[in-house]
Structure 1
Amino acid sequence: MAASEEARMGSAGTAKTTIRQPRPAIGLGHAIALYVGAVLGAGVLVLPGQVASLAGPASLLAWAFIGSLGLPLAMTFAALASRFPDAGGIVVFAGRAFGERAGGVAGWWYFTAVALGHVIVPLTGGYYVASALRIDQRFAYLFAGVILLLAVAANLAGLRVSGRVQLALAAGVSLLLLVTILVALPRVDPGDFTPFAPHGAVSIGRAAVVLFFAFAGWEAVAHLAGEFHDARRDLTRATAITVVTVLVLYSGVAFAVVVTGSYGSSTTDRVAVGSVLGAGFGISAATAAGVLAVVISAGTTNAFMAAISRLGYALARDQWFPRSMARLNTRGVPAVGVCATAGMGVAGLLTSYFARWGTEDLVSVPSTLILVTYLIGTAAGARLLSGRARVVAVVAFVLTAFVAPFAAAYVAVPVVVAVAALGYRRLASRRSIRHRSGRDRG
């Protein structure tokens, strides 16, 4: 698939059109860095303190439980991407399993979710920078724009440049989180674990629901599978290594927050990791958290920019988006897709600034869209895969479905996006038919 020089421009009776495919440029190390950047997102800055306040030391059980659930989800998407290495990712998986419309709608769900993520993730970093500099939080939107534009520049330069940036960022994130864990170890006291579950067993379940979204990001790299040098070999290996890495770092940081007592109020929770790191090195929590936030936000934005621009390319190739988004520059990068995604992020930041929306006002929408994307993706895995991979996909679907009722308040969001996707596709098909009719008459 990746080596093909032809891509189908929809199935509504249109002729094949030659479209260059992105070039293979991803090896094992680059893949791990992309995965780490996609999964180790800005949530690591706030969720350890938040769930510790919610469930006490017992929140560590929620981290371990949800982290282990990430394994079947991650392996399902890795198996699908290995079998169908295409820039479309979820579009191809859902389309093959349930038909072209299901694939297009799923693509719109994920594209919309990540486009909104290009507001939330950079803005999280911006908040921490503004806090570290002790300036008005309104400047957070400016810093967020800088983070977003840096990711755009790296991606337009090509995956090789973006990959080197991502490797550096992933290494930086991992090192800072590892240091956070190590500086907390001398402060371990058995008394920190009593009472273990001060708010009861139910609080552990509530914490687990919150943490489900901390491990989102496994689908993102699937859109880059066609650019792997050896997708069948490296995707599964990269997934396994990343699952272990993320689980160790997340659980370790959560442990560090609990044993140092760096939680208990919303103000403390927001800079819990920075508090641990700052105390270990004698610097302010705001400064430590600011450095960590910039590295994490930049890494996540860079990874998702690479993934979502490839999804835009595939949607345009298959007539779900304007055809211009399928154009590649001389480096094999879907430059129009990168710029369009960045434009949506900038527009979102400006809208949020003037509407005075914060990340807490935005996060439920992309979270719900990611959830339904995972539902259809794991269902596609259960239908398309075989043997042990199918069993893993079924497990991933069941566990994801278990969380779905908690997003019921936002059920209208994926419905509205689906209607928009189908409406656009219908208009595109009509324009295509009129164009062919006019050409035939000519």
Structure 2
Amino acid sequence: MDKSKANTGQLTAHIGLWQGVALYVSAIVGAGVLVLPGQIASSAGPASLVSWLVACLIGALLALLFVGLARRLPGAGGIATYVGEAYGATAGGLAGWVYFVAGAVGQTIVPLTGGYYVAEAFSLSSGWAYLVAAGILAVAVGANLAGAKVSTGAQLGLALSVSLALLITIVAAIPRMDSTQLTPFTPHGVPPIGSGVIVLFFAFAGWEAVAHLVGEFRRPNRDVPRAVGITIVIVTVLYLGTAAAVVFTGTYGSPETDRIAIGLLQEEAFGGHSALAAAIMAVVISLGTTNAFIAGVSRLGYSLAKEKWLPRPAAYVSNSVPVGGVLAVALIAFVGLGLAWLMSWGTETLVVIPSTLVVFVYLAAAVAGVKLLKGRERAAAAVSVVLIAVVVPSSLGYVLIPLIVIGVALIMRFALRKFDGPAAPTASSSAIASVRSRLREAMKTGE
């Protein structure tokens, strides 16, 4: 190996096809699949399958969109950069701010998912779910403060394990599926179908996370499209299969059932001991997802603070760890978890916040893609805009969430610039958009 190249600090092209597929799958398939199938089914009935179909279609289009944007801006790697390139620094900063809030609030929901499964496995009261969630969150925060990294091998192993567990669950549920569960198909009308698509953005967040690794594929022109295509198939099969298993077996209908629907399917198929296995799976998925998101969102918080979108303490760094950003995310997540416990809010209540915010930033990215891209990638961006615009009106109440967040962001921006002076120049606005840079760091060394 040429030492002169090894010491430049530049990333090398080393990602193969199947490694790329595993990275994409691990970025997308997370804790949301454990709770959302039951939740969406309770809201829309069997018609929730339509919600999943539409969400899968939008997800496929977004995959093409983000690959195109990564090629257009190869050194960037994030939504805020794409939006900023298309519509200016303020628009990019707002997109980054909204994504930061979505990611931080999401870390209230993901640990709680693991808490539900643990409480069910040991027949504990619902209050224990929040306590377990706090423990999962604390471990992830501690790991990030210590600078711990999720190894590439563990990351890929997790993706394979989760995919196999879901596939086994789907296959095991087939003998108990009953087509009569499809009637009535729309027990609550048509609007919940669109609302379900919006909520499902929480499960499909992740296509942007690996897009910035396009330049690190050994054969990007050949392997990137193939990796994206294979991942689209895998994610679609797992998500639609899981949703179908829940609907066709009728494993939904109450918050208590919805929160652990996948665990109940496994328990019915394999017996009582599978509840413990499901709990372990849920904790591992929740911890891995929380750890990865805190890693990326904390770096986003650091960059936002450097550019005076967040208070200065959020930019504090120690030993290459964005301590301020980690603590900012932790504060929001722990406060959210405490409020959820006090108000008896479940994931079905909380998930609306990050889901709607992710819809907003993905819509902004798609609009940016229409301006920045050409050919089929521009077409994917345009169709994404149309599909997202179609489902947004079905949940008008949710639209207020990003508007409120944007309002708070602008107020904070004005206050910080007034009292602290103008933002210091930064090396690149692309730093704002490194929402899940843990993947990049893991790929540098294969640690």
1:357 is paired with a residue whose SS is: coil
Shift of 1:240: 3.3
Map Cα deviations across residues 253-309 of structure 1 (whole Å, 9 max, x no partner).
Answer: 223334444345554443332222112222267545423422332232233223312
CA contact 2:30–2:289 (8 Å) conserved in 1: yes
Could you list the runs of 5+ residues in structure 2 that have no partner in the other structure?
Answer: 1-8, 425-447
Matched, 1:414 2:435: no
| Distance change >3 Å, CA 58–CA 343, structure 1 → 2 | closer
2:193 aligns with 207
CA root-mean-square deviation:
3.5
Map Cα deviations across residues 333-356 of structure 1 (whole Å, 9 max, x no partner).
Answer: 534323331232223223333444
| Distance change >3 Å, CA 161–CA 51, structure 1 → 2 | closer
Map Cα deviations across residues 215-262 of structure 1 (whole Å, 9 max, x no partner).
Answer: 446565646655776179376555433322211111122233344443
Matched, 1:44 2:30: no
| Distance change >3 Å, CA 277–CA 23, structure 1 → 2 | same
Q: Distance in 1 between matches of 2:226 and 2:325?
A: 29
Q: Pick from 372, 391, 400: which aligns with 1:384?
A: 372
Matched, 1:316 2:305: yes
Q: Distance in 2 between matches of 1:327 and 1:221?
A: 29
User: TM-score, length-normalised on structure 1?
Assistant: 0.79
| Distance change >3 Å, CA 59–CA 258, structure 1 → 2 | same
Shift of 1:181: 1.5
2:82 is paired with a residue whose SS is: helix
Matched, 1:401 2:383: no
CA contact 1:25–1:159 (8 Å) conserved in 2: no
Amino acid at match of 2:380: V
| Distance change >3 Å, CA 89–CA 236, structure 1 → 2 | farther
CA contact 1:154–1:165 (8 Å) conserved in 2: no
CA contact 2:117–2:279 (8 Å) conserved in 1: yes
Q: Pick from 349, 352, 359: which aligns with 2:340?
A: 352
CA contact 1:224–1:307 (8 Å) conserved in 2: no
2:150 is paired with a residue whose SS is: helix
| Distance change >3 Å, CA 329–CA 248, structure 1 → 2 | farther
Shift of 1:143: 1.1
CA contact 2:144–2:295 (8 Å) conserved in 1: yes
Amino acid at match of 1:80: L
Matched, 1:336 2:290: no
CA contact 1:184–1:276 (8 Å) conserved in 2: yes
Q: What pairs with 1:198-347 in structure 2 (closer than 5 Å)?
A: 198-200=184-186, 203=189, 206-207=192-193, 209-216=195-202, 220=206, 222=208, 230=216, 233=220, 238-283=227-272, 286-323=275-312, 325-326=314-315, 330=319, 333-347=321-335
Matched, 1:140 2:129: yes
| Distance change >3 Å, CA 342–CA 240, structure 1 → 2 | farther
Map Cα deviations across residues 80-138 of structure 1 (whole Å, 9 max, x no partner).
Answer: 23332456722211111111111111111111111111111111211221222122222
Amino acid at match of 1:73: L
Q: Distance in 2 between matches of 1:265 and 1:322?
A: 41
2:56 aligns with 67
| Distance change >3 Å, CA 51–CA 137, structure 1 → 2 | closer
CA contact 1:278–1:285 (8 Å) conserved in 2: yes
Amino acid at match of 1:373: V
2:166 aligns with 177
Q: Distance in 2 between matches of 1:149 and 1:413?
A: 27
Could you list the runs of 5+ residues in structure 1 that have no partner in the other structure?
Answer: 1-20, 437-442
2:164 is paired with a residue whose SS is: helix
Shift of 1:326: 4.7
Shift of 1:22: 11
| Distance change >3 Å, CA 36–CA 301, structure 1 → 2 | farther
Q: Distance in 2 between matches of 1:81 and 1:37?
A: 19
2:69 aligns with 80
Q: Pick from 422, 425, 433: which aligns with 2:413?
A: 425
Q: Does 206-215 or 154-163 show the bigger shift?
A: 154-163
2:179 aligns with 193
Q: Distance in 2 between matches of 1:381 and 1:106?
A: 14
1:161 is paired with a residue whose SS is: coil
Q: Distance in 2 between matches of 1:365 and 1:430?
A: 29
Q: Pick from 361, 372, 376: which aligns with 1:373?
A: 361
How many positions carry a matched residue from both structures? 412
2:119 aligns with 130
Q: Pick from 86, 98, 107: which aligns with 2:87?
A: 98
| Distance change >3 Å, CA 256–CA 319, structure 1 → 2 | same
Amino acid at match of 1:65: V
Map Cα deviations across residues 2-21 of structure 1 (whole Å, 9 max, x no partner).
Answer: xxxxxxxxxxxxxxxxxxx9
The runs of at least 4 consecutive aligned structure 1 residues that moved more than 6 Å come to: 21-26
Q: Distance in 2 between matches of 1:164 and 1:329?
A: 27
CA contact 1:26–1:227 (8 Å) conserved in 2: no
Percent of aligned pairs sharing the same letter: 47
| Distance change >3 Å, CA 223–CA 73, structure 1 → 2 | closer
User: TM-score, length-normalised on structure 2?
Assistant: 0.79
CA contact 2:308–2:413 (8 Å) conserved in 1: yes
